[in-house]
Structure 1
Amino acid sequence: MNAANANPAADERSDRTAGWVFSPIGRSVVPLRKYWRDNVVEDVDHQAVVAKIAVECPATARYILMIMMSAGIAILGLLLSSPAVVIGAMLLSPLMSPILGVGFALATGKRKWLVTSARSLLMGSVAAVLFTALIVLISPLQTVTEEIAARTRPNLFDLLVALFSSIAGSYAMIRGREGSIVGVAIATALMPPLAVVGFGLATFNWTVFFGAFGLFVTNFLTIALTATLMARLYGFRTTLSSKQGWFQSGGIFLIFIALAIPLGLSLRNIAWESNSQRIVRNTIQAEFGSRARISEQDIDWGTEPLSISATVLTPEFDTGANADISRALKERLGRDVAVRVEQFRVGADPGAAEQAALARARAAEQAAATERQISTMVGRMAMAAGVERGDVMLDRDTRRIGATARPLPGLSLEGYRELERRVAGDTPGWTVRLRPPPLGLPPLALGDDGRVVSGQVAEGTVAWAAKRIDLPLALRGPEEPVQALATRLRAEGIAIEQVEVANGDRIEIRWAALPQ
């Protein structure tokens, strides 16, 4: 057998290559491939890059700690609706190395490396979700802010953000130009969605939970698979056969298509909603004329017919506005609509509408601040009483807030009284009432002259507890001081059911009747 026939497989590949080279497309691509291989791929130290990424992939204690701190700062920024705080959290996130590790492990076919990187990502993700859920549980702020809502509807733009972040991160690692800013780019696509997943878990808001989880999965797959393609492009050797490599590339392409289709549809819906918002606003403005101002506008996209509400500041009332706007919008949007426009009459001068709009904006801002104050107050009251927020009684008209406290081990009536003082100190202008459990009442010590020597603290605590629990008291002690105490307590509106005269150096106080 001669040398030409020694390796039939090599001859077959050579024939295929020759056919490619001598095709019109092949002749134009070969110089580009040769330039790329000789001037770009050859300059890459593949072993150094693999070692640099692999060393940062295991889930160390430092890695878990930094993940949790980054997630904690991110959820606080989301709750405060502060993009600056959210971006600041990304500076701490160490997600870049393990997620690039997944991509490069897929490209090189290193199973052990893939398992290590995937385990690190899983542990880090679980730690981030649980830590953010804990923060949300103990936080008085549990409302869905704009920053949180923005992470619950993944679309094609989110995929592009993850794609560009992965290209930047992979290129930086391969060319030895990595830095914190590249890690920030990748963390921006992953850490906020993880924090929102924790928020959804803590508040049992499954719409938020699954929306953010879908965004996280989309970004994770996009970043990892893009890193795989970048590694293959820069010539990282693989243990996969040629057939397996083509199969892997085809699978990655199909995954991108599978992600892009629903995300593209979601983006189309968002674009339609944005355009519809503009159409609605223009239609309402055209109905009332240029002298009117639209103060508020809201569209409920989940209703059928489409529910549209708005507030208009106008110098003249338009009694047929709802019907006219409904007909116009039905024609322009192609859907049945239900329009409710609330009209407020303002002066006819050009600046009247602007002044009224400004006044309403200030009133709305004050109302929002009041709602935040009330939400914080309810959270503090629930924490002091050891109950759920829903168990706190709130009366906005009389500005009263109250709760019935659960028995807490080691906490006396004076302790519950101090908790009430603290909540009241944080809520000026509100009447705070914390009803303690009917614990034992403190006795009052008497001096040689028969007067109370234990001070006014114990007596004040007894009076406070009796008013909060609203149960009658029974007193027992020397005649003169016990009668004087009964008189003082009755003067404060406290029911004294029994006064028993007995010798001793103190007055004993108990509940005359306890609830069954």
Structure 2
Amino acid sequence: MRETDATPAQDGDLRLTDRLPAPLRVTARWWRINGSGSVDHAAVIERVCEESGWSPRFAFMTIMSAGIAVLGLLLSSPAVVIGAMLISPLMGPIMGLGFSLALFDFKEMRRSVTALVVSAALAVMFTGLVVLCSPLKAATAEILARTRPNLFDLLVALFSALAGAFALIRGRGETIVGVAIATALMPPLATVGYGLATANLSIAGGAFALFGTNFVTIALSATIMARLYGFGHRLSSQQSWLQTALLLTVFVLMAIPLAISLDRIAREAVIATQVRGVLASSFAREARVTQLDIDYEADPIAVRAVIIVPKSKALRTVVLAERLQAKLKQPVTLRADQVLVDPASAALDQEKAAFAQAQEQQRIREEGTEISHLLAVAAGVDPGTITIDRDARRAIAAAHPLPGASLAAYQALEARVGAQAPGWTIFVVPPSGLALSDIGFAQNVDALDDGAQAALRIDTWAAQRWNWPALAVPGLTEPHPERPNLGQRRAAAVAGALRRLGLTVVAAKVSGNNATMRLQQGMPE
């Protein structure tokens, strides 16, 4: 960056200030003296240039930060993710980009963009490699939290950029606010690497959208802060207008989807308030709406409510549905569970029990929704395909084929999701067509070693998930001969182990191999 670009043009500022109304003129002159005028612009630009470019140190720290971040995501550990932010060097080049936009310094702009693009690519590739080598591949809460950009994510990026630019300009706490900027960028990059490594494009796409939104917001916010502190005053009027138009255009383009999302959230909030108001006003003041779930995607809107109400004030569901439709001015599907209490008998314990039951139902329903989403992302399928049995606290998903994944990988995926859903039974059905395990034996040995027993447990798990009626064992002879050979003894050992695991066993039509055997789907006789 050119040092002359960093020095305000005082004459131009004075002419511009003289055209303002008196109150604004006083404010502008005060800011020029006590705000932008108190900044050593040349020193700030020198500091920005030192930290914004590519270097071996920058590459190493980026890779290390990305590695720690993806491990924190896989472990669902916020503390580890925060640890990754402490060493991330992303603040330097993004501040360089913001200041180069303020100064129209295309050389520094190319330098900063190159550092950011290369570092992002390195972070994604390295995190993807870590995920491929990791036995933990299930999507955690930390990963899912970075797949759906929302207004709060944008605000985090905005506040981080403003704090970062202020700290850089005033020379106070650059490292601390750099952590905030890294928080908005490094975890989404690590999540992109996870999504690509697990072939889950929905996760990768959502995380990349979050990264792109945060990146643009931080860079442009830094540009605004730089202009506010007097950087770029020597730009021509055409350059200033072009810069202003560019900033406004980008922010408007980003604001359009956010405005649509905000409008949707606002409409949903209004509907929820109206529904709760209608239900509350339809009963006596003693009644309480303890649970309210609204499916806005359903056509018509589906409402489910649990209401504790005195017996004398109970209403038919059809009456409540008509009142809701009149209030919302659109069709509504209502399921209202009215928990009736008797105030005359002062049955306080009953009311408490009913309330506790309603709360428990609400908790189970929320758990089911959360588990459905978690299992859908982990299995790579749409949440609508997940079977949820809330009464039995059971969830079933038919997994989408993952490149190179074996039966053991799907079994581990099921166990991982089950560990995050205590009290629930999780079933992950592996894709059909996957081969069962090879059951190996040592030379001249007919006993099952630890590896063979582990393979049998995986085959048993797969047969149960596929609802196979039986497993066929090659080389099995029924009834057993008086003097079985080695292959027959091995088949008998496998059959015995399968029966102990609770499976029905039949003889396969093909003979077994003396060294290895592979089980098949069988039909009971």
Deviation, structure 1 residue 177:
0.3
Deviation, structure 1 residue 72:
1.7
1:154 paired to 2:150: yes
Find the aligned partners of 2:45 and 2:195 in 1 and give their Cα distance: 37
Work out whether residues 192 and 207 of structure 2, in 8 Å CA contact, stay in contact via their aligned partners in 1. yes
Deviation, structure 1 residue 324:
2.5
1:112 paired to 2:112: no
Q: Equivalences for 1:351-362 in 2 at 5 Å? A: 351-359=349-357, 361-362=359-360
Find the aligned partners of 1:147 and 1:379 in 2 and give their Cα distance: 10
Alignment match, 1:179: 174
Deviation, structure 1 residue 174:
0.5
Per-residue deviation, residues 452-478 of structure 1 (Å, max 9, x unmatched): xx5844699699969964235268xx9
Alignment match, 1:451: none
What letter corresponds to residue 470 of structure 1 in structure 2? A
Deviation, structure 1 residue 247:
2.1
Change (3 A) 1:279 1:133: farther
Fraction of identical pairs, as percent: 33
SS in 1 for 2:302: strand
Alignment match, 1:305: 300
Task: Report the TM-score, using the length of structure 1 for normalisation.
Answer: 0.66
Change (3 A) 1:323 1:107: same
Work out whether residues 90 and 187 of structure 1, in 8 Å CA contact, stay in contact via their aligned partners in 2. yes
Q: Which has the higher contact order (CA 8 A, sep 6+)?
A: 2
Find the aligned partners of 2:302 and 2:278 in 1 and give their Cα distance: 15
Alignment match, 1:222: 217
Deviation, structure 1 residue 16:
9.1
SS in 1 for 2:52: coil
1:442 paired to 2:441: yes
Deviation, structure 1 residue 186:
2.6
Find the aligned partners of 1:238 and 1:317 in 2 and give their Cα distance: 75
Work out whether residues 288 and 314 of structure 1, in 8 Å CA contact, stay in contact via their aligned partners in 2. yes
SS in 1 for 2:320: helix
Match of 2:117 among 122, 126, 144: 122
Find the aligned partners of 1:246 and 1:376 in 2 and give their Cα distance: 48
Alignment match, 2:319: 324
SS in 1 for 2:293: strand
Per-residue deviation, residues 268-304 of structure 1 (Å, max 9, x unmatched): 3322322322322232233344444444322122233
Alignment match, 1:286: 281
Deviation, structure 1 residue 357:
3.5
Change (3 A) 1:328 1:65: same
Task: Report the TM-score, using the length of structure 2 for normalisation.
Answer: 0.65
What letter corresponds to residue 245 of structure 2 in structure 1? G
Per-residue deviation, residues 222-253 of structure 1 (Å, max 9, x unmatched): 32122112222323357743321232123223
Alignment match, 1:57: 52
SS in 2 for 1:473: coil
Per-residue deviation, residues 157-208 of structure 1 (Å, max 9, x unmatched): 65444333322211110110033331233334444555565676657464x6
Alignment match, 1:450: none
Deviation, structure 1 residue 219:
3.1
Match of 1:48 among 43, 52, 68: 43
Work out whether residues 166 and 223 of structure 1, in 8 Å CA contact, stay in contact via their aligned partners in 2. yes
Find the aligned partners of 1:462 and 1:160 in 2 and give their Cα distance: 54
Work out whether residues 287 and 321 of structure 1, in 8 Å CA contact, stay in contact via their aligned partners in 2. no
Find the aligned partners of 1:114 and 1:22 in 2 and give their Cα distance: 33
Find the aligned partners of 1:487 and 1:16 in 2 and give their Cα distance: 93
Change (3 A) 1:295 1:223: same
Alignment match, 1:7: none
Find the aligned partners of 2:142 and 2:82 in 1 and give their Cα distance: 15
Alignment match, 1:9: none
Unpaired runs of 5+ in structure 1? 1-12, 446-453, 501-506
Deviation, structure 1 residue 52:
2.0
Unpaired runs of 5+ in structure 2? 1-8, 461-470
Q: Equivalences for 1:20-419 in 2 at 5 Å? A: 23=19, 25=20, 32-59=27-54, 60-69=58-67, 71-72=69-70, 75-76=73-74, 80=76, 90-128=85-123, 139=136, 141-142=138-139, 148=144, 152=148, 154-155=150-151, 159-191=154-186, 193-194=188-189, 202=198, 204=200, 206=202, 213-237=208-232, 240-314=235-309, 316=311, 320-345=315-340, 349-359=347-357, 361-362=359-360
Change (3 A) 1:355 1:242: same
What letter corresponds to residue 101 of structure 2 in structure 1? L
Change (3 A) 1:249 1:318: same
What letter corresponds to residue 323 of structure 2 in structure 1? A
Find the aligned partners of 1:33 and 1:239 in 2 and give their Cα distance: 17
SS in 2 for 1:56: helix
Find the aligned partners of 2:144 and 2:235 in 1 and give their Cα distance: 42
Change (3 A) 1:269 1:128: farther
What letter corresponds to residue 442 of structure 1 in structure 2? F
Deviation, structure 1 residue 35:
4.3
Work out whether residues 486 and 496 of structure 1, in 8 Å CA contact, stay in contact via their aligned partners in 2. no
Work out whether residues 439 and 518 of structure 2, in 8 Å CA contact, stay in contact via their aligned partners in 1. no
Work out whether residues 21 and 27 of structure 1, in 8 Å CA contact, stay in contact via their aligned partners in 2. no
Deviation larger for 122-131 or 322-331: 122-131
SS in 2 for 1:303: coil
Q: CA RMSD in A?
A: 5.9
